[in-house]
Chain A
Amino acid sequence: MRLLNKLFLFFAIPCLNAVSRVYCAVVITVLSWVSPNWLSWNKYSESMLRSLEKRILSIVKTPHKGFFVDIGPVVGPADKIWTISLNVESPKTPLVLLHGLGAGVALWCLNLDAFANTRPVYAIDLLGFGRSSRPNFSTNSQEAEQQLVRAVEEWRKELKLKEFILLGHSMGGFLAASYALSYPDQVKHLILADPWGFPERPTEYKEVPLWIKTIAYVMKPFNPLAGIRAAGPLGPWFINRIRPDISRKYALALDDSKLITDYIYQCNCQNPSGESAFHAMMSDFGWAKNPMVNRIDKLKPEVPITLLYGSRSWIDHSASDIIKEKRMKSFFKLQVVTGAGHHVYADKPEAFNQIVLDACQSVDSLINSDDSNVQYVEESDEPESDSKQ
C-alpha cells in the first residue's frame, strides 16, 4: 500500500523530466524490495560480524581492546563509534586510523602490530560504516562531510585525546584531510594513503558512445555497493567473484581466506547510511564534489603531510604536485610504494608500515625539539630536503 502511494505520488507530480522521475521511483521500489525489512534478503547479523572481526584480529599479537564510544547526538539520536585500541599506556602521540569505503577496522590487521609497537593506536569504524551506528546523513555533500568529520571530533573528545597523528586511506584520507582543515590543532601529522577525492574533475572528457552514457545514467542513483546488497545470500560469493584480490592480499596472514570476504560483506550489507553520505559527496562516478586540492591551501601550514601512493593504484597521482606547490612552506613528503595497488597497506604492509612509522618518528622528534625550545619553522626546512621528487 505504501509502495503504491509512493508510485502514485510520483506520477501525480507534473514534472518536466517525467522519465527520470519514473526511473527514480522504480529504483526506490527495487531498493525497498531488497531492504532488510523484507524477508531478510540479506544475511546481516551483528553477532556474526563481531565474531568475524574477532577472528581476523586474532592475528594481531599486541593485546587490543574493542569498545563502543558513545558520542551522543551528532547525526542520529545516539551515535556510537566502534573503536579498537592498542598500547594505550604509551605516552607518545597516538595514531588514529580511518578506513576506506566499504572497509572496517579489521582490515588494518596487517599493520596494527607494527604501529602499536611504538605508540598508542586507535582504529575506528567511521560513523555509518562497519559496526558503528548508522544514522541517516544529509544529502548535501558539504553537510554530509561535516557530519562525518564532527563524529570523529566528538569521538576524540569522548576519549580525551589531546592531539594525534591521523592516518586515512581512500575515503578515510579525504575525511582525514577534511578533519585537519576543521580541527588543525589536534592533528600533529596527516598521513594520506591513496586518498580519494583530491583531484578536480576534468572539464573535458574523452567522448564515449551513447549507449555507455545511458548505462552510466542508469547506474547513477545507486549506492556504490548496492550490488552486494542486491545479491542477498550470494553476496559473499559475489564479492569473492569480483574482488578475489582482496582476500588474496591477506592470504599469507590468515588461514581462512573466506574471513575477509565475509567480513566485508557483513560490513556492507546493513543499512548503507555511510555509503549514502559518500554518494552525496561524490559526483559522476567517483569524483569528489568538493575536491580537496582546492581547499588544501587553507590547511594550517604547521600540519605536516605525508602522502602515500601505490605505484599501480588507479587513483590520480596528479594531485600530489598541486599539493606540493600549494604547500611550499610546510612539510610535505610524497612516497610511492612500488608494486602496490590502491590497498597499499595490505599490498606491501612492510613498506607501508615503515613509511608510517617514519612519519610518526618525525612527530616524536618534533615534540622533543619543542621541549628544548627549538622553533618549528626551523624544522620545516629539513623535511623538504628529504622529500622525494
Chain B
Amino acid sequence: MNLSFAGCGFLGIYHVGVACCFRKYAPHLLLDKISGASAGAIAACCLICDLPIGDMTSDVLRVCTEARSRSLGAFSPSFNIHRLLLENLEKFLPEDAHVRCTGKLHVSLTRMHDGKNVVMSQFDSREELIQALLASAFIPIFSGLIPPKFKGVRYMDGGYSDNLPTLDENTITVSPFCGESDICPRDDSSQLFHINIANTSIELSKHNMYRIVRILFPPRPEVLSNMCKQGFDDALRFLHRNNLINCTRCLAVQSTFVVSETLDEDLEYDPQCKECKLHRQEALVSNVPESVLSKFQEAIDKANHGLLHWLFKHRGMKLLSVLTLPYTLPADVMYATFTKFRTYSTNRGSLIVYRDSARYDFVNFIGEIYESKSYELGLRGNAVLIPPYFSCSRHLCTRRFMVAAPQMGNGVWELSKVFMDKLSYLLNKINRKRQQLSAKITCQLAITEYDKYDVESCQDLKSENKMNLNFTLKLEDSDLPLTQSPVRRFKTKEILQRKPSFTVNRTDTLDNDTFDHILQVTSQHDTIMAYYYLDENNKVKVTEIFDVSNSDSPIVQTSHEKLANRNLEFDDNWQDEIDADWNGQDSNSADGASQYDIDEILDREPIFSDPESEWTGSFKIDEPEEFCSADDHRPESERPRQEKFEQEQKEKVAA
C-alpha cells in the first residue's frame, strides 16, 4: 500500500499527527512508496528519512510562530518561507537522504511553462532533493518571485496541478480537509456539497472554510496542537477500521499476493495473537506521543509569555498595529527587498553558494560581535533551546534578542545589520586576506570565552561536544579557519556532521515512538521464520517474524533492554573464551560452564518460537548478571548446578 499526503501549507501539522500514528502503530505501511505535494511532500520525505517526529513538530511550529510574529502574518514582505524551509531541510535531512528517497518519495510538481503535473522520484544528490521539495512548496509571489529550478526546468507548487498524487489503486490518501480521502477529519456539518480542486476533495463545510484560510495564515499553537491530535486520531481510526494494527513484539510483516482476481483487498492478520489484540485495544485509547505534545506545550507557553504578547493580547493594541501598518510596511518592504536581494545574489547558482555566503556573512567582524552577544543572551536564558545549527540559531537569537522591541524597531535594526552585512560581504570579495585575518580574531574570541577547553586536542573536543551543545555551536560558527592544516579542518567538519545525529538520538530517547525501529529491523535483519500459505481466496500470504531482541541498534531497545541483551551477548562470547582459554586450565569448571551454556541456550530458544511466554519473566535478564556477579564469590564448579537448579525451579513454577 502506498501513502499520499496532500499539500496544505501550514496545515502540515496534521500530517505530523498522521505520521506519528503510522510510526507508532503501522510502520509496515511506511515501507512502500510515499507521495505528496508541497507540505505533504516534506512530510513524506521526513517519514522516509526516518526523522524524529519531535523535530518535525518543533520545525513546523517554529515556522508558524515566525509567521505569526509579523503584523501581516505570512504575507509580510520580510517573512521568507522559502529560506526558512531551506534552512530546516538543510539542517535535518541526513547526508544520504537522496539515496533513501530515490524511488520511494514521489514529489508532485507543476511545470512552470505549461502548467502540467510532473511527479519526481529520482534524486541524484541531497541538494537536488531539497530543491525538489522547495519547488513543490513554492507558491508564486507568496514565497518569492522566481520559481526554483529542478534539473534545469522551473517548477512551482504541486498543489496547482495535483495536490494529492495517487500512484495506484491502493493508495491511502491523507488530507487535512474533510472530503473523500481515506484519512481526513470528519466534520459534523455538511452532508452534500464538495468540490475537487487539484485532485483534493474538499467538502464545503464551515470547518473546511476555516482550514482553507489557515493554509496561508497559521493559527495559534493551541489550534495547531488540536490539528495534530486530530490527524493522529483520524489515522488511528483508519488503521483500526481496516485492521492494520499489529503487535510489535512478534512483528509479523505480512504481504499478500493475489493469485486470482478477488474483490477484497484488505490485508489480513493473524487474529489469534493476543498481543495484537492487546495492542489494538491500547491503540484505541492512546494519544499523541509525549515528545510531540511537549513540543506543543513549549510553543504554546512561548507564545503566551513575553512582553509583546501581553501587549498584543488587548484588542486596542491589535487595532493599533493594524493602523500603523502604513508606516511599518514601507520599512518592512525595504528590509525584505534588501534581504531578498542578498539571498538572490548568493543563492542564484546553487545551494553551496548559499552556504558559503552564510559563512562569509558570519566571518565579518560586526556580525560576529552581534552573534556572540545574542548568543550569550541565549546561553543565560535557556541553553537547551538553542538548536545546534548556526543559521537557525541566528534566527532564534535575533527573535529572542528583540522580543521586547516593537516591529518597527526590528525592521530598522535588521535593515542596518543587513546593510553592514552587505558591505562587509563586498569588502570580503575584494580582499580575501582581510577576511582571513578577521576570522582569526573571531576564533580567539571563542577561545577566551571558553578557555576551559583546549581547542588543540580534538579528542577532548569530541567528548565536550557530546555534553555541551553550545560549545559545538560556537565552533561551527567560527568554522575554525585558524587551523590551517586540511586534516584539522576535516576533523572539525566531522564533528559538525556528527552532531545532528547526536541530537537525533537524544530526542529519540525522549520519544516514546519505539516503533520506527521496526522498519529498521526489517530492513537490516533476516527473518527467523516465514510462513507462506494459500488461503481460500487464492491469495498467497506471507508472514515474516523478526527477532527484535538481538538487534543492537540503539533505538530498537530501551537502554535497560539493551543492557540486558548486552549481558547476554557477553555470555555468548564468554563461552567462546572458555573454549579457547579455560579449557586447558581447568577442565572441571570448563565442562560445567559449557554445559550450563548449552542449557541456557536451549532454554533461550523457546523465546522465539513462543512469543507470549518470552517477555513475561525477567529471569532471562537476571541470569547472566547473577552469573557474572557470582564470579567472585562462589567456586566455579558450583555455579552451573546452582543455575540449573534455579532454572528447574522456575520451570516448575511456570508449569
Contact = CB atoms under 8 A, between A and B. Distances in A.
Contacts of B207: 206, 208
Nearest to B173: A312
Interface string A86-100: 000000000000000
Residue from B180, B181, B203, B266 having most chain A Cβ neighbours under 10 A: B180
Nearest to A350: B263
Given A206-B207, A212-B209, A338-B265, A101 B192 contact: yes
B196 A244 contact: yes
Contacts of A286: 189-193
A170 to B, nearest CB: 8
Interface string A345-364: 00000010010000000000
Interface in A159-180: 170-171
Interface in A189-236: 196-197, 199, 202, 205-206, 208-209, 212-213, 215-216, 224
Nearest to A197: B191
- The DSSP consensus for interface residues of chain A is loop
Interface string B180-209: 111000111111111111010101111101
Chain B contact residues (Cβ within 8 angstroms of A): what range?
Answer: 20 to 34
A212 B209 CA distance: 7
A341 interface: yes
A199 B192 CA distance: 12
Given A208-B207, A216-B206, A285-B205, A312 B191 contact: no
B155 to A, nearest CB: 21
A205 B207 CA distance: 10
A224 B180 contact: no
A316 B190 CA distance: 10
Contacts of B190: 285-286
A339 B169 contact: yes
A321 interface: no
A342 interface: yes
Given A216-B206, A245-B201, A341-B180, A316 B191 contact: yes
B11 to A, nearest CB: 16
Contacts of A284: 189
A314 B186 contact: yes
A237 interface: no
Nearest to A282: B192
B178 interface: yes
Contacts of A242: 195-197
A216 B208 CA distance: 12
B210 interface: yes
B283 to A, nearest CB: 20
B9 interface: no
Contacts of B205: 285
A242 B200 CA distance: 10
B438 to A, nearest CB: 52
Contacts of B186: 314, 316
Contacts of A312: 173, 180-182
A351 B192 CA distance: 23
A354 B180 contact: no
Contact of B209 (A101, A215, A342): A215
A316 B187 CA distance: 9
A171 B191 CA distance: 11
B329 to A, nearest CB: 23
Contacts of A243: 195-196
B179 interface: yes
B223 to A, nearest CB: 10
A206 B264 CA distance: 36
A118 interface: no
B195 A213 contact: no
Interface string A294-313: 00000000000000001111
A205 B188 contact: yes
B263 A354 contact: yes
A224 B192 contact: yes
A345 to B, nearest CB: 14
Nearest to A338: B265
Contacts of B204: 285
A315 interface: yes
A287 interface: yes
A245 B196 contact: yes
A341 B265 CA distance: 16
Nearest to A354: B263
B147 to A, nearest CB: 23
B199 A245 contact: yes
Nearest to B209: A212
Contacts of A199: 191
A240 to B, nearest CB: 10
A287 B180 contact: no
A314 B178 contact: yes
B342 to A, nearest CB: 38
A199 B266 CA distance: 28
Given A208-B206, A208-B210, A213-B206, A314 B194 contact: yes
A313 B188 CA distance: 14
Contacts of B195: 242-243
Interface string B99-126: 0000000000000000000000000000
B511 to A, nearest CB: 30
A286 B178 CA distance: 14
A101 B178 CA distance: 20
A197 B191 CA distance: 8
A224 B196 contact: no
Residue from B180, B192, B194, B206 having most chain A Cβ neighbours under 10 A: B192
Contacts of B170: 339
Contact of A314 (B180, B210, B266): B180
Given A242-B196, A339-B169, A311 B206 contact: no
Interface string A310-337: 1111111000000000000000000000
A286 B266 CA distance: 32
Contacts of A171: 192
A134 to B, nearest CB: 20
A224 B204 CA distance: 11
Contacts of B196: 242-246
Contacts of A339: 169-170
Contacts of A315: 191
Contacts of B264: 338
A113 B169 CA distance: 24
A208 B212 CA distance: 13
Residue from B187, B188, B266 having most chain A Cβ neighbours under 10 A: B188
A287 B201 contact: no
Nearest to A205: B188
Contacts of B206: 208, 212-213, 215-216, 285
B188 A202 contact: yes
Contacts of A216: 206, 209
Contacts of A215: 206, 209
Contact of A338 (B189, B210, B266): B266
Contacts of A285: 189-193, 204-206
A342 B263 CA distance: 19
B271 to A, nearest CB: 15
Nearest to B178: A314
Contact of B189 (A101, A205, A342): A205
A202 B188 CA distance: 7
A248 B293 CA distance: 41
A241 B195 CA distance: 9
B180 A313 contact: yes
B210 A212 contact: yes
Contact of A206 (B179, B188, B193, B201): B188
A45 to B, nearest CB: 26
Contacts of B169: 339
A196 B194 CA distance: 13
Nearest to B192: A286
7 contacts: A196-B191, A243-B196, A286-B189, A310-B180, A314-B179, A314-B194, A342-B194
Given A197-B191, A285-B206, A315-B191, 14 more contacts: A208-B206, A212-B210, A213-B206, A215-B206, A224-B193, A242-B195, A245-B199, A245-B201, A246-B196, A285-B193, A285-B205, A312-B173, A338-B264, A339-B170
